[in-house]
A and B are shown apart, each in its own frame.
Chain A
Amino acid sequence: MSRAEASAEAEPQQVAKPSRRAPSVGAGDAEERVAARRLRIAARQEAKRREALGEDPDAKKAEEEEQSRSHKQIEESRQRLAKLLLDGMQLVTNIQVAADARETQRRTEEAELKRQRLEKLDNEAKTNQDKFDEITSKWDSAREKIIPQDLWEVLNQQQQQCALLIEEKNKLIGELQQELKNKDEQYTKDLKKQSDDINLLLERMEEQIRNLTKTYRRELMQIEKAFELERRELLTNNRRKWEQAMQTHNAQELEYLISRMKKVEEHEKQLNQLRGQDAREFSALKIQLENDVQILEQQLQQMKAIYQLNQEKLEYNFQVLKKRDEENTIIKSQQKRKLNRLYDVLNNLRMKLARQIKQFQEENQNLTADYKRIVEQYRDVQKTMRQFATINTQKFLELWLMNEEEAKGLMRKVLDADRIIHTQQLGLLWSEPSYWFLNNMGPIIQKGNRTATALAQEALEESNQPKAEDTEEAEDKERPLQHISLKTVKKILELLCDESGFLIESKMLSLLQPLDRNERTLMTLDSVFMALDIDSEADVYRLVDYFLKFKAQQDASSQGKEKTVEKDEDACEEIDGEVAKEEDGSTAPEEKGKALLPSAALLSSVCLHPDDILKALKAFVQDLHKLREKQPLGRRLLDGRDTSTDSGYWDNLAHIISAQKLKLWDALEAALEKYYNILTQRLKLLMKNSSLQQQNAELHLLLQQYCTSQMNDKLLIPPTQLMELSPP
């Protein structure tokens, strides 16, 4: 058994042991506790009693005594020192007091002496005054003396008395001077005494200081000693107490140790017993518990297996859910981002929209302004263009005329030259060629440009005077489009004239009343055309064409209607009635009219019912407008002229001389050139000849001059001689 165990066993023993001797409060037994409490109360009361009796005060007294030892020493020292100080002070001041006393004594003595001296002086003065008076009185008596001896005697006496007086005075002075000298001596003595006193004072002071320092030092040492002693005593006392306490403590410790050892042994025995018992119980319990453990382990294994299975399942689920959750979060965030982005886009777009709206409004305004401006401009341009067109046509005409004139001049020149060549050079008969274009003047004008009124006039007049066939042919040529006969045109126009009286102003009608029927019709047509904005021939034809087509259409529809309502004969009859009505209607105006042409209705198998004319007219006007819009006015004006024939015309003008003739002309030219060259050569030779003849004549003249001149005679050798000598 180890030591630690022993100590552990001893612990309860130690606690138990004092409880046996003195009952403890913490003991297990109730009686014992009561006893312990009683004991404690008793001890307290005892302590109180002791305190009341003065056991503690005793200790206090001792303490006070101990304390007061040093205090007493200090007090003693202080008293001693105070006494010393007082004594010293007295010793020192004694000198001063003595000096003062001497001084007062001296003063009193001095006062006394002064008084005596003054008295003495007074007495002296009095006696001497008497004597002086006596002497002065004697002077009078002496003056009375006549006898010289007496006088001498008296004078002598006086002199003696005066001498006596002076002597007395001198004596007094001497006494006083003696006194003064004495005083001087006394003063010097006093001075000496004073210096002695001062020296003594200094000596005593020094001695006192020395004494005082010595005593102070001694007292200090004594006080220190006392304190030290006190301290030492205290120390020894305390040490003794300490040792006693230590001894008791040691004994107690030993006792405790022994009891503890005993307890330890006892406990050891008990422990052994307990151990054996416990070991048996332990083994039995162990076996049982091991069995339990095995069973439980099996269960545990099973549970573990289930648990693991569940865990895996759950984990898998958890993973799946996690994944889903992640995906969801991702999607959510994406959606959110998208939402944000879309919001941004939306906002941007909104802003853009607003901006664009504003922009477009502005643009629109700008454009409308532009449009207005452009329309204006366009109108201006049209105006100017029309102007230009007229100017151009005029210019064109002028140019045309000018060029034609020039070309014709040239042509005529050429023809003249040709005529001359033929007649003069070749000697052939020349016939003037005749072409249509030679007579043509101005630009080639097409017939299509005729106005509508003109056409109308023509159409109206056609009935009255038959036209020349060639013109009819020419017209046909020019208008291949117009396959409609003039008669139909006329018919339609008359119909139009009658039906559309509303288009003419009432004033006009009244004005037209007195006119010829033909003219009146013409005028009304004119005004109707004006109202319908029909100005060209083509339009008139188109109108007629339209009317015809409209008629054909109506017929077709009526026929279709007839087909659909074949069974219903009433309907047919009605239609027949209608047709009859129509015929009546158409005949009615004819009848109403002057009925100049009764065969008109017969001629135009395709005759319009006057009621339909208005509808047709309306439709035509609409179509016409559409057509007009498609075709700008300017182009129509420009395109009015056909330039195809112009080049032919001008070519014809240019090639009035044929190529055969030109060849002929070239050959003629070459021959004439040759002829000309020969002629020029001949001319040159003739010219040379004539010049040489002239030269010769001149030289003859010169030679004659020389020969005839008188200078020859003067010369040594006259040239004439030489000429003669050497004839050429």
Chain B
Amino acid sequence: MPTVNSTGDCQPEADCASTSSKGIASFSHVKMQEPVLGDTSVMPPPVRTSVVNPAANIRHMRRIIAEDPEWSLAIVPHLTELCLQYIIINFEKKPILNHLLPEHKKRVLDRISTGLPLSVTANLISDEGYWKRCCTERWTVCDVSCYGGSWKQMFFERHLENILKYFVPNVTDPDRILDVIPLCKDYVRKLEIDQFLPPVKLDEKKEEEDLSDSGSDVEIDELSMHHYDIGGLIVALPHLEELNLSYGVKDCGMNFEWKLFNFTSKDCSNLAKGLKKCQSLKVFKLTRSKVDDDKARLLIRNLLDHPCLVELDFSHNLIGDRGARAIGKLMNHSRLEILTLCNNQIRPPGAQAIAHALAKNATLISLNLRLNCIEDEGGQAIGHALLSNSSLRSINLAGNELSEPTATLFSLVLAQNTALTSINLSCNHIGLDGGKQLLEGMSDNKTMSEFDLRLAEVGQESEYLINQTLRANQEIARLKTLQQSNSPQEKLP
């Protein structure tokens, strides 16, 4: 059984013999990465003694060097120059920055090492240039627009994410996270963690487990397979707004094990506790984490009446009807605007519960129930709800085993509801008649701009006609937005 041990080596086992060398390489690659990336916070800062110009000898021959803005003809540098040099070299011991003149400050910031310990720099330096250098030196791909345009925020968020991603319970020192929290708590607004490593077992136990059958294994493992307690962390971050989690291991390759992807009840309760206390959270995503009904209910119970939660994403989980019922309750006990439940196991009763909530809701804008199994009963319930709802703009019911009855109801919705702009009914069995009914409903509609009916067996003719009306509607919408943007200008003359 190939698991991570304390030394970080891959243990060659009976099962492991069959694994390909690529798998080992990829997994060991993951292991190898950890110390390298983790080191950045602990790594002793390399002291840069002086900026040595490799081409200095050649440059001595020249009187003027236009390409180097810092070059000067003076043989003895200015005292300020020397002082700045000294400050730059000894910045770790004596961080003098705020007393300098702006120009000097800029020069110091341009030249101090990016490897300085965060304890020195985190709260002292607010200059974006320095953090930009830190980011670009550490990561090759840096899109600052994903981080609110702030390089510092980007640095700290990614730094914290890195630590969490490669945190191994019982092995990694928890102080590493605790040390970082006070430094980065003011800057982290979004956490996106797409892997949680499971705890490592001792060698002997591993052997025993290997020998024994997998059935008994799971229960034993269940106790010791808890991941890092993220709840404690999010409580410590006062400005956290977006939390994006997925309990699982990436790039495991042929070392795949089901238990690497276990979202245990302890994890769930920890997370739920943290969510309850994190009042600033706006976006919460928990995907690909095997969240079943009980866990979903636990989480949702703690999210009820949350002051600012706007978006909730439980896609690619195992939520069933009970979970859906809980979500329906949550819809009317919060300010949710975007709800994503794609690829779950919601069946007609769950869909009915959601539809019941939707009929009374006035905040939800987007609802995604893609790849569920709500069938006609659920679809009809949702259609009825949409007749009374006037806030929902976008609904996705792709791949839900819907058929003609739902289509007839939706044609009514198309004729009556003016808030909806986007409907997705693709991958359903709507049939030719259903398509015609939808076309009828669509003929009177002037607001719908997206209506996906691909692979819905509606027939090419009706699909084409619907697309025509859609295009016309899009044009109307475009002109309306243009007018709205122009109207203040036109009013002036």
Contact = CB atoms under 8 A, between A and B. Distances in A.
Given A98-B455, A100-B371, A100-B427, 14 more contacts: A82-B474, A93-B452, A97-B398, A97-B426, A97-B452, A97-B455, A100-B370, A100-B398, A103-B399, A104-B399, A104-B400, A104-B401, A107-B373, A108-B401
A103 B400 CA distance: 11
A104 B371 contact: yes
B454 interface: yes
Interface string B443-469: 000000000101100000000000000
A23 B51 CA distance: 92
A377 interface: no
A159 interface: no
A545 B452 CA distance: 181
Contacts of A94: 454
A468 to B, nearest CB: 145
A90 interface: yes
Interface string B43-81: 000000000000000000000000000000000000000
Contacts of B455: 97-98, 100-101
Interface of A: 82, 90, 93-94, 97-98, 100-101, 103-104, 107-108
Contacts of B399: 100-101, 103-104
Interface string B410-437: 0000000000000000110000000000
15 contacts: A82-B474, A90-B454, A93-B452, A97-B426, A97-B452, A98-B455, A100-B370, A100-B399, A100-B426, A100-B427, A100-B455, A101-B399, A103-B371, A104-B399, A104-B427
Contacts of A100: 370-371, 398-399, 426-427, 455
- Determine the main DSSP class of A at the interface with B: helix
Contacts of B452: 93, 97
B165 to A, nearest CB: 23
B373 A97 contact: no
Contacts of A108: 401
A108 B373 CA distance: 10
Q: Interface size bucket, B side?
A: 10 to 19
The 3 closest A-B pairs by CB, nearest first: A101-B427, A104-B399, A100-B399
A85 to B, nearest CB: 11
A101 B398 CA distance: 9
Contacts of A97: 398, 426-427, 452, 454-455
Interface string B184-211: 0000000000000000000000000000
A453 to B, nearest CB: 129
A90 B470 CA distance: 14
A82 B427 CA distance: 25
A157 B98 CA distance: 98
A104 B342 CA distance: 13
Interface string B467-493: 000000010000000000000000000
Contacts of A98: 455
Most buried by A among B373, B400, B455, B474: B455
Nearest to A86: B471
Nearest to B470: A86
Most buried by B among A82, A94, A100, A103: A100
Contacts of A82: 474
Nearest to B426: A97
Nearest to A98: B455
A107 B401 CA distance: 10
A408 B69 CA distance: 146
A82 B454 CA distance: 19
Contacts of B400: 104
Interface in B301-346: none
A98 B454 CA distance: 9
Interface string B363-407: 000000011010000000000000000000000001111000000
A359 B427 CA distance: 136
A399 B74 CA distance: 127
A464 to B, nearest CB: 146
A108 B429 CA distance: 12
Contacts of B370: 100
Nearest to A108: B401
Nearest to A111: B373
A665 B180 CA distance: 160
A306 B62 CA distance: 98
Interface string B95-130: 000000000000000000000000000000000000
B56 to A, nearest CB: 45
A657 to B, nearest CB: 132
Contacts of B454: 90, 93-94, 97
A107 B400 CA distance: 11
Contacts of B398: 97, 100
A108 to B, nearest CB: 7
A100 B474 CA distance: 26
A93 B455 CA distance: 12
B448 to A, nearest CB: 15
A266 B178 CA distance: 113
A108 B452 CA distance: 22
A466 B426 CA distance: 202
A183 to B, nearest CB: 15
Contacts of A101: 399, 426-427, 455
A93 B371 CA distance: 15
B431 to A, nearest CB: 15
A70 B272 CA distance: 59
